[in-house]
């Protein structure tokens, strides 16, 4: 059986690459675009998953879908997560996917959203492990990239199938497994059952990444200690808080961490905004950044009023003027707002 290193923070070797560190940004639809991935990498993420990509749409040459596969400027190891229902879609999409030179192709077998599930993709593959294995085998044989699978504990409480599912994935050639220990029927409700992740680690010959409820550095450390997982995937806990990666690294390596001060928070928001503008243009970026900036500022003094103004910002200058009105940022030197 494959076992994690003695240190909680460590590298993970995969076919063709060695990942420096074991803290990962989860794929989040509408969030994990190149600008956000870039910020998370700056803040200590070891590797970042792309937004979920439709293999069928990629095969059909969708420009919108291809935009999801673009690499961030500081992204050494690109991870493209795909959803699909049949290996033939993988074969047709592969030339387009490989043109973006991913280090890892991840197969989504966990998305519970009905519009994905009804196509036979996402967590619907938990009911069809042989089809999942065919997809893995096809990708490992036809692609130089490593192949991983992200999946759930089962379809519902009456079909907890993650161990047999994982075994099929490994036999087909998967070199990394990520378990979100909730069933499809749970969605994102309730608590993730980390004891299932520990079971998978004990029964896996490839590295296992834990996922679910790792929303603070303390919870990241707790997951690694309780499960023996080789790494942790952080999703919603990173939105508005990309600092969680460096904070977790410090905690895992025996150091303490502090929350970002006002200047660091503001500079990160502006860097994120500027990266988004460079990536998509000011109009689209300012619209897309509203959800991120609201998350960054959650919990700040008078944050409700601040968020009310931020969701109407349409230009970079409007963002800066609104942020400067916050009592948290108002007394910072002007250079912080450039």
Please report, for the domain that includes residue 95, its CATH number. 3.20.20.70
Q: Are residues 332 and 272 in the same domain?
A: yes
Contact status, residue 81 vs residue 50, Cβ threshold 8 Å: yes
Q: Are residues 184 and 283 in the same domain?
A: no
Q: Residues 130-154: what's their mean pLDDT? A: 97
Structural domain tally of the chain? 2
Q: What is the pLDDT of residue 80?
A: 98
C-alpha closest to that of 161 among 138, 134, 137, 179: 179
Q: What is the pLDDT of residue 337?
A: 53
Mean pLDDT, all residues of the chain: 94
pLDDT score of 59 more than 90: yes
Q: Residues 211-228: what's their mean pLDDT? A: 97
Q: Are residues 109 and 225 in the same domain?
A: yes
Q: What is the pLDDT of residue 185?
A: 86
- % pLDDT > 70, the chain: 96
- The answer to whether position 1 is within a domain reads no
- The answer to whether position 5 is within a domain reads no
51: alpha, beta or left? (left if phi > 0; alpha if psi -120 to 50)? beta
Q: What is the pLDDT of residue 335?
A: 46
- The answer to whether position 4 is within a domain reads no
Q: Are residues 129 and 209 in the same domain?
A: yes
Q: What is the pLDDT of residue 4?
A: 53
Q: Residues 313-338: what's their mean pLDDT? A: 80
What tens digit of pLDDT does each residue of 156-200 get? Answer: 999 999 999 999 999 999 999 999 999 988 888 888 999 999 999
99 burial type by CB count under 10 A (0-12 exposed, 13-18 middle, 19+ buried): exposed
- The answer to whether position 3 is within a domain reads no
Contact status, residue 82 vs residue 52, Cβ threshold 8 Å: yes
Q: What is the pLDDT of residue 333?
A: 65
Q: Are residues 177 and 283 in the same domain?
A: no
Q: How far apart are CA 230 and CA 4, in angstroms?
A: 5
Global pTM reads: 0.94
For residue 281, CA distances in Å to 9, 124, 238, 276, 313 come to: 37, 37, 24, 7, 14
Domain-terminating residue out of 232, 252, 272: 252
Distance of CA 40 to the CA centre of its chain: 10
pLDDT score of 331 more than 80: no
* Orientation angle between helical segments 162-172 and 194-202, nearest 10 degrees: 40
Query: What CATH number should be reported for the domain holding residue 286?
Result: 1.10.1200
Q: Are residues 247 and 267 in the same domain?
A: no
Contact status, residue 187 vs residue 216, Cβ threshold 8 Å: no
Q: How far apart are CA 130 and CA 122, in angstroms?
A: 14
Q: What is the pLDDT of residue 44?
A: 97
Q: Are residues 210 and 271 in the same domain?
A: no
Cross-strand partners of 208: 177
Buried-state track 245-276, b at ≥16 Cβ within 10 A, e below 16? bbbbbbbbeeeeeeebebeebbbbbbebbebb
pLDDT score of 71 more than 80: yes
Q: Which two tokens stand for residue 230?
A: 């080789």
Q: Are residues 150 and 275 in the same domain?
A: no
Q: Are residues 245 and 285 in the same domain?
A: no
Contacts of 114 (CB under 8 A, 6+ apart): none
Q: What is the pLDDT of residue 6?
A: 61
- The answer to whether position 6 is within a domain reads no
pLDDT score of 334 more than 80: no
What tens digit of pLDDT does each residue of 72-101 get? Answer: 999 999 999 999 999 999 999 999 999 999
Domain-terminating residue out of 229, 252, 275: 252
Q: How far apart are CA 180 and CA 190, in angstroms?
A: 12
Q: Are residues 195 and 271 in the same domain?
A: no
pLDDT score of 16 more than 50: yes
Task: Spot the catalytic one: 40, 111, 286, 294.
Answer: 111
Residue 96: CB atoms within 10 Å: 19
What tens digit of pLDDT does each residue of 102-116 get? Answer: 999 999 999 999 999
Q: What is the DSSP string of 62-75?
A: -HHHHHTTPPPTT-
Q: Residues 55-76: what's their mean pLDDT? A: 96
Q: Residues 118-142: what's their mean pLDDT? A: 97
Q: What is the pLDDT of residue 338?
A: 56
Domain-terminating residue out of 226, 252, 278: 252
H-helix or E-strand spanning residue 147 = strand 146-154
111 is catalytic: yes
Q: Residues 224-231: what's their mean pLDDT? A: 98
Contact status, residue 104 vs residue 176, Cβ threshold 8 Å: yes
More confident residue, 133 or 188: 133
C-alpha closest to that of 184 among 109, 237, 129, 83: 109
Q: Are residues 327 and 232 in the same domain?
A: no
Structural domain of 303: 262-337
Q: What is the pLDDT of residue 187?
A: 82
Q: Are residues 239 and 276 in the same domain?
A: no
- The answer to whether position 284 is within a domain reads yes
CA angle (35 as vertex; 29, 39 as ends), nearest 5: 105
């Amino acid at each position: 059986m494959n076992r994690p290193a003695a240190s909680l923070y460590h590298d993970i070797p995969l076919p063709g690459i060695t990942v420096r560190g074991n803290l990962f940004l989860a794929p989040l639809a509408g969030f994990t675009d190149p600008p956000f991935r870039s910020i998370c990498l700056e803040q200590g993420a070891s590797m970042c998953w792309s937004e979920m990509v439709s293999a069928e749409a990629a095969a059909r040459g969708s420009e919108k879908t291809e935009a999801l596969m673009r690499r961030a400027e500081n992204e050494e190891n690109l991870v493209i997560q795909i959803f699909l229902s049949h290996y033939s879609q993988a074969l047709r999409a592969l030339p387009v996917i490989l043109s973006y030179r991913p280090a890892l192709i991840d197969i989504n077998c966990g998305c519970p959203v009905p519009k994905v599930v009804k196509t036979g993709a996402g967590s619907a593959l938990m009911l069809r492990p042989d089809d999942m294995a065919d997809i893995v085998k096809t990708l490992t044989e036809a692609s130089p990239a490593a192949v991983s699978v992200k999946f759930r504990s089962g379809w519902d409480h009456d079909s907890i199938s993650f161990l047999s599912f994982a075994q099929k994935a490994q036999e087909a050639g998967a070199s990394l497994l990520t378990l979100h220990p909730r069933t499809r029927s749970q969605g994102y409700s309730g608590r993730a059952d980390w004891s299932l992740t520990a079971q998978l680690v004990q029964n896996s010959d490839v590295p296992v990444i834990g996922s679910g409820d790792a929303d603070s550095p303390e919870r990241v450390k707790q997951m690694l200690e309780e499960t023996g997982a080789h790494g942790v995937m952080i999703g919603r806990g990173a939105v508005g808080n990309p600092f969680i990666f460096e904070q977790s690294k410090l905690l895992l390596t025996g150091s303490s961490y502090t929350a970002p001060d006002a200047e660091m928070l503001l500079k990160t928001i502006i860097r994120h905004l500027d990266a988004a503008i460079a990536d998509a243009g000011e109009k689209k970026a300012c619209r897309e950044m509203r959800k991120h900036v609201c998350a960054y500022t959650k919990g700040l003094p008078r944050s409700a009023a601040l968020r009310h103004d931020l969701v109407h910002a349409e230009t970079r200058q409007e963002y800066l003027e609104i942020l400067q009105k916050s009592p948290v940022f108002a007394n910072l030197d002007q250079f912080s707002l450039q």
